[in-house]
Amino acid sequence: MKALLLKDFYLIKRSLKGILLMVLMFLVLGWHDKNGQMLFAIIPVTTLSFISLFSYDQMSHFENFAMTFPIKKTTYVLEKYFCGTFMAIGSSLITLFICLIKSTVGSLSLLFAVQGIALSFMCSIIIFSISLPLFFKFTVENARIYFIVAMLFFSFGGTFLVNQIGIPAISFVTLLIALSITALLLIFISYFISFHFFSKKFN
C-alpha cells in the first residue's frame, strides 16, 4: 500500500503545475466573489485530478506489472480510494486556509466558509465514488465520457425533480448528515464494484 501511494503521489507531484493553475483560477474567481462560493470548487476539481493516475497506469501497463508482485487486488483498488480521499482532505485544508485569509481581510463569513467546505468535501467523495468504478471498468477515454454523461444526467435530473416536486427547506446539519451517509454508502458500494471490475481483468 505504501509503495503504491508513494508512486501515485509522485505522479501527482508531476502534475502539480496543472493542479495549481486550476486552484489559482478558482482562487481569483472566489476572491472577487463576496460570498467566496467559487473557492469551494477547488475541492472537487483538485480531488478529481487524480484521474490522471489511471491514464499513466493504462498507458504504461502498470496494472499488469503490479500484479506480478505480491500485491493483493484489494490493496491495489483500495489505494486509489485512499489517494482520492487524501486529495479531498488536502484540498479542503488548503481551501480552509484561503477562506481564513479572506475572512480576515474581506467580508467572508468564516462559519459560511466552513459549512461550504464541509458540503463540498462530501460532494467530492460522492463524485469520485461514482467515477472510480468507471475507470476500473473502461479505458480512460471512454470512462471520462461515461462520467461526464453521468454527471450531466444527475445534474439535470436533480434540477428537474427539484423544479417539479420542490424541496423543503432543511438545515445545514440535516443536509450534512444526509450527504455524509450518502457518501459513506456510495464509497463502500463503489469499492466493491471497482474490485469486481479489477478482479475480472486478472482472472
List, for residues 38-94, the tens digit of each pLDDT value. 888 888 888 888 777 777 787 778 888 888 888 888 989 998 999 889 989 999 999
Pick 8 or 156 by higher pLDDT: 8
Reading the block at residue 66, the C-alpha cell is 503490479
How does DSSP assign 84-124, residue by residue?
HHHHHHHHHHHHHHHHHHHHHHSS--HHHHHHHHHHHHHHH
Pick 172 or 198 by higher pLDDT: 198
Please give the average per-residue pLDDT across 169-196, as a whole number: 88
Reading the block at residue 116, the C-alpha cell is 461550504
Please provide residue 139's backbone torsions phi and psi, each rounded to the nearest 5 degrees: -70, 160
Which string of b and e fits 104-132 if b means at least 16 CB within 10 Å?
eeeebeeeebebbbbbbbbbbbbbbbbbb
pTM score, two decimals?
Answer: 0.85
Q: What are the percentages of helix, strand and coil residues in the chain, rounded to 5?
A: 85, 0, 15
Mean pLDDT (the chain) is 83
Q: Has residue 170 got a pLDDT over 60?
A: yes
Reading the block at residue 134, the C-alpha cell is 468507471
Band of pLDDT at residue 25, cut at 50, 70 and 90? confident
- Return the number of other C-beta atoms located less than 10 Å from residue 40's C-beta: 24
171 in helix, strand or coil? Answer: coil
pLDDT digits (tens, 9 = 90+) for 101-127: 888 887 778 888 888 899 889 989 988
Give the Cα separation of 40 and 121 in Å (integer).
9
pLDDT computed for residue 192 by the predictor: 94
Band of pLDDT at residue 167, cut at 50, 70 and 90? low
% of the chain beyond a pLDDT of 90: 16
Residues in contact with 42: Cβ distance below 8 Å, sequence separation at least 6, in sequence order: 22, 23, 26, 27, 30, 91, 94, 95, 98
- Return the number of other C-beta atoms located less than 10 Å from residue 198's C-beta: 19
Please give the average per-residue pLDDT across 11-21, as a whole number: 79
CA atoms within 13 A on the CB side of 171: 3
